[in-house]
A and B are shown apart, each in its own frame.
Chain A
């Protein structure tokens, strides 16, 4: 009888476990599906004065967490663990690929020469000031004095000059040196640095705020690149502690950090930060909800949606959301028929239902539909361009495609009346596949397009569009893609719209050195490129704005790129993590917040009252 009872208990336990499993998944799905809030609320205990943000005032779907100064008392001490999307490649700014994950770590160890302020301008961080000559071919900057590297070496102008040869050889920084036109760096005083350019560049300070050229490392230690990778040396608020690849990278408080906050408290506030790569989006969020980590980093709308659902159901978390210029969608390879014909590009773009694509991406109420390479929050955003951007209009799309298909001179050489062929390619992410299926459905429904959906991993996807085996024309036709950053427009537009091949450069009388394999769509227009170059020869904002607006208007006409929604990113934190949207530059100017889920961890603190 005892055995029999035991068996019955065992059976009951198994049944309970199965029941619990079934209930668990239902709850999760239900919460996520019902969540359509367009507000981002920073939740604390209500006593700390932290902001509640309703950014929908700016535009429907715009959900940025506001950047704003706060007078909440800072607390020194404590440690946090941050769940990152992926492991980083290495610790060397000049050599190792650096995306959002890497930036979060680098910014703890290294300081940058320049930094972005809330208004989008670039201001000094390690530099006190920087001034150009008349034609923007030389820039003179003065470094702050008395700043020491983690190994006790002082930062001087000669340090910056000594970094330059290393950067010239660096696989990451060499490209930025070319793109910026930087030709030489000289120490023209103890703390005065002169950057000489090969061509005018009014946006050069933007490059000194980028990871590749902006992060300052100790060149003496960098002489042994492998050893430096094991023990990186910067001037940043934290000292490198240890790196357990694929598990944890940790930094500890730099007791001699040079910067203090506006109350005179020495930075940084935290004692230690651990960065843990957690590639699974669900696990990363669960890790924060369960207290395994204190912060979850995400670049996915679906995770933001789930985090909002968790917050709204009572989990004590804050979502520091950001939606900047970066915008998803796709591109046409304009050198490959039939996408060399603007009727096809316009027709297919008219048949891109942005609303449905954003919904398939899980971004309804999160992502703002894109109309240009700038988001409505950007100083470069143009209402005129937004009005000109092609809206979803199936009939007009069909009309344009029909005109092409029935054209005896159609560029793809197919018989009159035959549908065009389009390979619609995207990495095999479930939400991206769903989004591409929405587009496929609409395009196919026209009866004028044979769509073949293909999925390649990220690296193959990039290589496919690069096409180094065919003169960088690429083997793609219609390719899902993201464009734009929140940096100065010249840092991404000049390469993305430069002459794609030597032939194109030659035909337009341009220097072959300007050929840009980063022009993925291969779209080139001499007037557009002229405007982009002109925008680097003036620092007058209105003049530059007009030039970029003219470029965007031309893109709205020729549509080498189509858009879905702007990329939403977030840092999802415990309710007591403060400072991500209120950090300041050394002169007290409010910083840019947390673009692309990149925090400035030197000014983050734990508020015990908000826990």
Chain B
């Protein structure tokens, strides 16, 4: 186990180094002068002021020097200050937004799993029959429709037509669980639909394979009820791939809620990232990118390790 952890740690460090370097290069090569973005068009006439800002921010240094300076600071937990929003620490920006995006991601995953497991199990249990065909078609639709289209539809239905939910913005958990749910349920559902489709297909195919195993036949021969066999004997061995994909997708959701957060005007990491990109707020872009990458790699590592716990065969090998 220690060896596995050691290898994972080395791989994690190498990945983080590559991610930070590449994202730094890419954000530095973005066209547009951050000094102009910071000062605005009215300051363009003042080249001395623009130069002062570039110098202050180290924008005149070569990219490798800027990367090294950033890396050494980041290694000590200092991700720098926002170029645009005065006095805003990038770490604080991330800390403020992680709970929002993480809540959305968790809700989306939970909703997706809650919908995917019954659909996948039904599809597998009734393989080839109308129940399977119907659920597969619905899943295919959910997979094909982009989540922002689902979001627009949800806004139209639940906010504009029915007036049940607010169309936009965010109530924090501190405003009350109910108020928070009212603003989070639609974006979480929009995010969940694609996840649900992926999970459900996975559960269905794995479950079909499991249901053909001898131990299932044995269980049936014992006269156990189908529901009992499905939920107690077949589901667990059919959920290994699901766990992996949940882990991967959770990491991806943390960085992939940009469109939904923008659509619903939710103050999460994605919304801030979009604003930072349009404002050329390089340190914020860099900070959020690195954070998402770190979480992604950590979650995947955790899932890999969890595999060894769940499946004794992997542990022994």
Contact = CB atoms under 8 A, between A and B. Distances in A.
Nearest to B142: A14
B217 interface: no
A280 interface: yes
A33 interface: no
B46 A278 contact: no
Interface string A129-140: 000000000000
A284 B157 CA distance: 15
A492 to B, nearest CB: 11
B160 A289 contact: yes
B45 A287 contact: no
Given A289-B160, A290-B159, A518-B41, A279 B46 contact: no
Interface string B234-271: 00000000000000000000000000001111110001
Contact of A283 (B87, B157, B263): B263
Interface stretch (A457-465, A521-529, A564-572, A596-604): A457-465
Contacts of B166: 287, 290, 292
Contacts of A466: 33, 36, 44
Contact of B167 (A247, A283, A518): A283
A343 B43 CA distance: 34
A256 B153 CA distance: 46
Given A175-B46, A276-B168, A459-B278, A247 B267 contact: yes
A53 interface: no
B44 to A, nearest CB: 5
Contacts of B44: 175, 466, 472, 517-518
A461 B130 CA distance: 54
A21 interface: yes
A244 B163 contact: no
Nearest to A4: B131
Nearest to A287: B167
Contacts of B181: none
A466 B44 CA distance: 8
Interface string A23-57: 01100100000000000000000000000000000
Interface stretch (A61-69, A82-90, A368-376): A82-90
Interface string A1-24: 000000100110010001011001
Given A246-B267, A459-B37, A174 B31 contact: no
B108 interface: no
A28 B160 CA distance: 12
Contacts of B224: none
A541 interface: no
B128 to A, nearest CB: 14
B33 A14 contact: no
B169 A247 contact: yes
B278 to A, nearest CB: 6
A86 B130 CA distance: 48
B85 A175 contact: no
Contacts of A558: none
A78 interface: no
A283 B32 contact: no
B40 to A, nearest CB: 4
Contacts of B32: 457, 459-460, 462-463
Contacts of B161: 24
Contacts of A280: 262-263, 265
A50 B291 CA distance: 53
A468 B36 contact: yes
A457 B88 CA distance: 24
B152 interface: yes
B157 A463 contact: no
A569 to B, nearest CB: 19
B63 interface: no
Interface string A485-529: 000000000010000000000000000000011100000000000
Contacts of A92: 86
Contacts of B84: 89-90
Contacts of B292: none
A456 B277 CA distance: 13
B206 to A, nearest CB: 21
Nearest to A517: B44
Dominant SS among interface residues on chain B? helix
A121 interface: no
B72 interface: no
A283 B278 contact: no
Contacts of B116: none
B208 interface: no
Interface in A258-310: 276-280, 282-284, 286-287, 289-293
Contacts of B266: 247
Contacts of A463: 31-33, 36
Interface string A95-107: 1110000000000
Given A24-B153, A24-B156, A290-B167, A172 B43 contact: yes
B259 to A, nearest CB: 9
B159 A292 contact: yes
A587 interface: no
Given A280-B263, A280-B265, A245 B49 contact: no
A229 B86 contact: yes
B85 to A, nearest CB: 6
B12 interface: no
Nearest to B261: A246
Contacts of B153: 21, 24-25
B86 to A, nearest CB: 5
A333 B167 CA distance: 43
B160 A290 contact: yes
Contacts of A212: 42
B13 interface: no
Contact of A90 (B50, B85, B263): B85
B155 interface: yes
Nearest to A169: B49
Interface in A513-552: 516-518
Nearest to B118: A10
A156 interface: no
A296 to B, nearest CB: 10
Contacts of B45: 175, 178-179, 495, 516-518
Nearest to B145: A21
B18 interface: no
A247 B170 contact: yes
Given A171-B40, A247-B267, A290-B160, A457 B278 contact: yes
> Residue among B156, B278, B280 with the most chain A CB within 10 A?
B156
Interface string A163-201: 000000001101110110000000000000000000000
B71 interface: no
A229 B31 contact: no
Interface in A560-581: none
A174 B169 contact: no
Contacts of A172: 39-40, 42-43
Given A7-B134, A89-B279, 19 more contacts: A18-B141, A24-B153, A24-B161, A83-B265, A86-B275, A171-B39, A172-B42, A245-B96, A246-B265, A247-B265, A280-B265, A283-B265, A286-B167, A290-B155, A460-B32, A462-B36, A466-B36, A466-B44, A517-B45
29 contacts: A7-B122, A11-B134, A14-B134, A28-B156, A89-B84, A95-B86, A97-B39, A97-B42, A171-B39, A171-B53, A172-B40, A174-B46, A175-B43, A175-B44, A175-B45, A178-B46, A225-B86, A230-B87, A247-B266, A278-B169, A287-B169, A290-B155, A457-B277, A459-B36, A460-B32, A463-B32, A464-B31, A517-B45, A518-B44
Interface of B: 30-33, 36-47, 49-50, 53, 84-88, 96, 122, 126, 130-131, 134-135, 138, 141, 152-153, 155-157, 159-161, 163, 166-170, 172, 262-267, 271-272, 274-275, 277-280
Interface of A: 7, 10-11, 14, 18, 20-21, 24-25, 28, 83, 86-87, 89-90, 92, 95-97, 171-172, 174-176, 178-179, 212, 225-226, 229-230, 244-248, 276-280, 282-284, 286-287, 289-293, 456-460, 462-464, 466, 468, 472, 495, 516-518
